[in-house]
A and B are shown apart, each in its own frame.
Chain A
Amino acid sequence: MFKPSALSDWTLFILFSAAILTMPIWLAPLGANYPDLMQKFAIFGIFAIGFNILFGLTGYLSFGHAAFLGVGSYTAVWSFKLLTMNVIPALIFSVIMAGVFALVIGFVSLRRSGIYFSILTLAFAQMSFNLAYSVLTPITNGESGLQLTLRDPRVLDAAAGVAVGRSLPSTNLFGLKMSGLPGFYICAVMLIIAFFLSMRIFRSPFGMMLKAIKSNQTRMAYTGFNTRPYLLAAFVISGMYAGLAGSLMAVTDPLAGAERMQWTASGEVVLMTILGGAGTLIGPVLGSAIIKYAENIFSAFNTSELRQIFDFMPDGLQQVSVAVSSMFVGEAWHFTLGLTFMIVVIFLPGGIMEGFRRIGGLFRRSDAKAGKVESSAAAAHS
C-alpha cells in the first residue's frame, strides 16, 4: 500500500506499533477485543511475517512451515517443564531450536527449486508430524499432546525457591502471569519486534538480493553470486519466526500437540500470506488477522442463531436462507475460507494489499488527470 517514498519506514513502523498496542481499544466495536483472539492475531501475524520473508521475497513456496511452529511449541513446553515457568528462556530456546531444524531441512530442500522444493519441505514436515505421533512419543507425548504436570522438575524455579502449589503453575514473565491482557501484550511486543526486523530485512542489501533471486535466479548465478547461502539464510530466518510463533502459542496456553505440524497448518499460513499480499510488509499481518477474525465470527454461528437472523422473512424463504447460509458458517466455515482463497488467487493475485494499491491508483490517476486539465486550461488562458 505504502511505497517507501509515500510514507517513510519509520512513520509506518510507528503507526503499526500504535495500531497493535491499542488493539484492545479499537477492536472493541468489532467485538474482537478479548485477549484470546488478539493473541491469535499477534501469533499468526508473526508466523505469516516469517513465512513472507521466504515466500514473498524469494518466491520459494514452502509447504512445511508448520513443522517449525510445532518444534517451537514443543521446545517451549519442555523449557517450562525442565527449567522455569518464566517465558524468556522458553522463547529463546524455541527460536534457536526452530532455527537449527530450519538449517537442516533448508540445507537439503534448497538443493531443488520450484515444485520440487515445495514437495521436499512437505515431505520433511510430514515426517516430523508422523514421528511426533509415533516414535517420538517420549518427547512429544503423542496424541494427547505435551502438557505440564505437577511432578515436573523445573530446576531453575526450584533453585529460586518458588513454592510448588497444588495447581499447575502458570507461565510468567518475572512473576507477571501470562494470561489475559499481559499475555496479549507480550505477543504484541514480539509482533512489533518481528515486524521491525522484517522491515529492516526488506530494505537491506540482503533483502534486495532475495528479491533479485525471485525475479531471475539464473541471472544472479551468472553475475557470480552464489544464491544458496542467501536462500538458506532466508529459510532459517523464516523458520525462526515460526518457532517464535510456536513458543508464543505455548506461552499463552502451555501445551503442544502434533496437529500443529500437519500440512494443513502449513497451508493455512500460505493462505494468510497470499490473502494479505505476499511480498508486502503489512499484508501478512493483515491476512492472518482477517482469517483468524473470520474464523472466530463464522465458526461461532449455528443453525438456531441463523434462524433468528432470518426471522423476519416468510417461512419458506427463511428455511432456504438458513440452509444456504449454513453452508458458509459454523462447522463449514472452511468452505468460505476455500472460496475466498480461490477468488483472491484468481482475481487478485497480489492479495488485499494489491487491492488497496489498485484503489489508490484509481484516485491518483484521476487526480493527475484533473491536474492536467487544469494546467492546460490555464495554459489556454494565458
Chain B
Amino acid sequence: MDAILLQILNGLDKGAAYALIALGLTLVFGTLGVVNFAHGALFMLGAFCAVTLNRLLTISTKIKDESVTFFDAYKEVPILEAKFPTWGPVIVDYSVPLAILIAIPVMLLIGLIMERGLIRHFYKRPHADQILVTFGLAIVIQEVIKHSFGANPIPQLAPDGVAGSANVGAWFGMGDNIVYPWWRLIYLGFAMLIIGATFAFLKFTTFGMVVRAGMQDRETVGLLGIDIQKRFTIVFALASVCAGLAGVMYTPILPPNYHMGMDFLVLSFVVVVVGGMGSLGGAVLAGFLLGILQSFASMTEVKAIIPGIDQIIIYFVAVVVLLVLPRGLLGRKGVMED
C-alpha cells in the first residue's frame, strides 16, 4: 500500500514535467497549427537560465582564510557572501527559485523572437517541413548551449530549507513509511499552479476568450476585426515561458545537460498525441497518466512479471491509444484529420 502511494507520488511528479511541456506544445499546435520540435530546447533553455543565474550569483573573489593561522591561505568566496554576510548566502541558496524571475522575461523574449523570426514563415508549409526546420533549430540551440556550458551535467541545489524529505505519511496518519523529497513536492505544486494559471488565463480573461475563439475558427475571429495573429504570437511566447519554468524548477531534480530537451521532447510529443493534438486538458491528463503508469511499471514487483516493461510502457500505451482512439484521449474533431 505504502509502495503504491509512493509510486503515485513519483508518477505525479514525473507527469507534472511531461504535462507542463506538453501543455505548451499542444497550445502552440492548437493556435498556430505548428508542430514545434524545438519545444524541448525551450525546456532546456529554462534550465540553463537557472544555471546562469547561479553562476552570476556565485562570481567569486579570493579572501583570506582566517581559519588557517600559520600561513597565509586564501579561499574563494562568492562576492555576494563576502560583501553581505547576512543575506548574501540566502540569495545564493535560493538561486533556483529566484531564477524563475529571470526565466520569465528571458523565455518570453526567446519565444517572441522564435515565432516572429522563424515559425511565422512556416504556417502554410506542410507539417513535415515544420517538424524538420524546428528539429534543425533544436540541434542549433542544443549545440550553442553545449558550446557555452560544456557537455557535462551541471548539478543545481535546492534551497537548504527544503533539501530534505517530507514525512508525507505522517500528515495523513499512515505511519512513517511514505517519505518524499520536499523539492519534488514543491515541483508538483508549482506545476499544478502553472497549469491552473494557464487554464484560468484562457478561460476567464478576454484575451483567453479571443484565443479560444481563434482556435475554433480563426477566420471568423479575423473578420470581426481582431488581430488574431498578434495574440497567437503572444500565446507562443507564453508556451515557451511554460516550458522554461518547467525547466528551471526541474534543475534540482535532474542536473541540466545540453541534451535534456531532446530527451523530454520525444516523451512530451507522445504525451500530446495520446492526449489529443490541440487539446489542453488532454495533454495534462495524458501527462499525469503516463507519468503514473511509468512509475508503476518501474516497481520491482511489476518488473518481475513483465521484464523491461518500465522501458517501453509509455510508447506501448501511445501505440495502443493511437490505434484505438485515433484522436487521442480528448482530441477534438477536425484537428489534424487527414
Contacts and interface: CB of A to CB of B under 8 A. Distances in A.
Contacts of A127: 311-312, 315-316
B269 A108 contact: no
A251 B131 CA distance: 34
B266 A135 contact: no
A126 B266 contact: yes
Interface string A105-142: 00010011111101110111011001101111000000
B146 interface: yes
A35 interface: no
A337 interface: yes
Given A263-B266, A335-B147, A342 B137 contact: yes
Interface string A264-288: 1001001000100000000000000
B28 to A, nearest CB: 13
A345 interface: yes
A274 B125 CA distance: 15
B131 A115 contact: yes
A217 interface: yes
B323 interface: yes
B136 A339 contact: yes
Contacts of A59: 128
A130 B312 contact: yes
Interface in B128-167: 128-129, 131-133, 135-140, 142-144, 146-147, 151
Interface residues of B, number: 41
A71 to B, nearest CB: 16
A61 interface: yes
B212 interface: no
Contacts of A111: 323
A340 to B, nearest CB: 8
A362 interface: no
Nearest to B338: A113
A115 B142 CA distance: 23
A298 to B, nearest CB: 12
A124 B319 contact: yes
> How many A residues touch the partner, as a band?
35 or more
Contact of B139 (A122, A124, A130, A341): A341
A208 B224 CA distance: 45
Contacts of A260: none
A267 B259 CA distance: 15
Given A112-B322, A335-B147, A342 B336 contact: no
B131 A118 contact: yes
Given A115-B336, A123-B318, A135 B311 contact: yes
A7 B11 CA distance: 61
B129 A108 contact: no
Contact of B136 (A115, A331, A332, A345): A345
Contacts of B277: 115
A115 B144 contact: no
A115 B133 CA distance: 15
B282 to A, nearest CB: 14
B41 to A, nearest CB: 11
Interface in A194-236: 217-218
B188 interface: no
A260 B144 CA distance: 24
Contacts of B262: 264
B326 interface: yes
Given A120-B319, A331-B151, A338-B136, 14 more contacts: A111-B323, A115-B131, A118-B131, A122-B269, A127-B312, A130-B308, A134-B307, A135-B311, A274-B132, A334-B143, A335-B140, A339-B136, A341-B132, A342-B118
27 contacts: A108-B323, A111-B323, A112-B323, A112-B326, A114-B127, A120-B318, A120-B322, A123-B315, A123-B319, A126-B312, A126-B315, A127-B311, A130-B311, A130-B315, A133-B311, A135-B307, A136-B308, A331-B151, A335-B144, A338-B138, A339-B140, A341-B136, A342-B133, A342-B137, A342-B140, A345-B133, A349-B129
Interface of A: 59, 61, 108, 111-116, 118-120, 122-124, 126-127, 130-131, 133-136, 217-218, 263-264, 267, 270, 274, 327, 331-332, 334-335, 337-339, 341-342, 345-346, 349
